[in-house]
Amino acid sequence: MKELNLVDPVDGIYYGAIEVKGHDIVKIKKLDEEKRGLSYLLPGFVDPHIHGAAGVDFIDATYEGLQKMEGFLRKEGVAACLLTTVSAPLEKILKAIDTLETYTQKNPHTIFKGVHLEGPYLNPNRRGAHELKYIRDVNIRELEEMVSHPLVRLMTVAPEIEGFEEILEITKKHDVVVSIGHTEASYELVEKIYNKGVRRFTHLCNGMKPLHHREVGPVGGALLNDAFVEIIVDGVHLCGEMVRIIRKLKGVEKLELITDSMAATGLGDGEYRIWGKTVHVRGRIARTEDGSLAGSTLTMRKAVSLYRSFTGADHLETARVSSYNACVDLGLKRAGRIKKGYSSLLVEVGPDFEYIKPFIDDSTG
């Protein structure tokens, strides 16, 4: 067993001994109070919004591509994630889900825990990098075909579009969480659908009408209501001051760090062909040829490091925003805690966040 400070979002921080075996935490023993100056062990990261990494994008990934992406993400400390689509033809979306289904059947301990459908029912005026030609009106047959798949857990939708009530009805039937995104919804509409149980926002502030002092819109609705919010903490999608504002108004229980990463993540600067378009990565910032941000090249390790630098968050808060909150929000099992029977994919963090690395239990030799 290895001894260090254990950080559990429910039980708090304490000095303890932990033993992992295979895919599981098999033994935990509390030994003492927190010992400052020593390493901290956090649950592995949970990312509910990731399009791709290591040269692979989910929307057109092969089985081998998923293997490659998973290998990269594990090295970055990710214990669970939802692979995310973009607005695309129905057959392409279904093919991506089917490929993931084959992969998860052959790899039952994969970190890929399901699918996040981002689109195709978005506001075209807030589409970001989504292709305009693939953003479309709600089609009930198509919607049923997508969200009825057991791997689909989450769907980002603009609530102002025609047919949103049907989306709510069908997603509820299939236990799919609806998240507000790529939207110009008014505050009044956000309040209305919040009262119908929609309590989540996709990459807050990005892909949505900005906060205005006479109509606070979706950003104001997210900040004033008890909803979960995704935030992309890369210093580009949100400045540090905005991260602090969101944290102050929301508290740490409703924040979820995400990457929104795409295939160029981990590959460096260059020109890439992604989602059927050319994307330029300069200084780790990904943009389409028209200048729109095209997801990110962010990793969860970097997101945690920047969140710490922007907010001064401690280890316990970090464990909540980088792992536990997403598990609570989306019903993900065996992740987000330091607890017997939970995932052995953990992250070791320095006393002052001077290092963030996947945990290796080398205490047994």
Active site positions, annotated: 260
Amino acid (1-letter code) at residue 277: K
Strands 45-50 and 78-84: parallel
Query: Measured in whole angstroms, how far is the alpha carbon of residue 300 from the centre of its chain?
Result: 9
Cβ-based neighbours of 329, under 8 Å, separated by 6 or more: 48, 177, 200, 228, 256
169: left (phi over 0), alpha (psi -120 to 50) or beta: alpha
On the question of a cis peptide bond just before residue 120, with omega within 30 degrees of 0, the verdict is yes
| Vertex 271 angle, CA 266 and 277, to 5° | 105
Q: How far apart are CA 90 and CA 121, in angstroms?
A: 12
Non-local (6+) Cβ contacts of 354 within 8 A are none
Q: How far apart are CA 315 and CA 305, in angstroms?
A: 11
- All residues at 6 or more sequence positions from 234 whose CB lies less than 8 Å from its CB, including other chains: 284, 296, 298, 302, 303, 306
Say if CB 328 and CB 43 are below 8 A apart: no
DSSP 223-276: HHTT-EEEEE-SSSSS-HHHHHHHHHHH-GGGEEEE--B-TTTTT-SEEEEETT
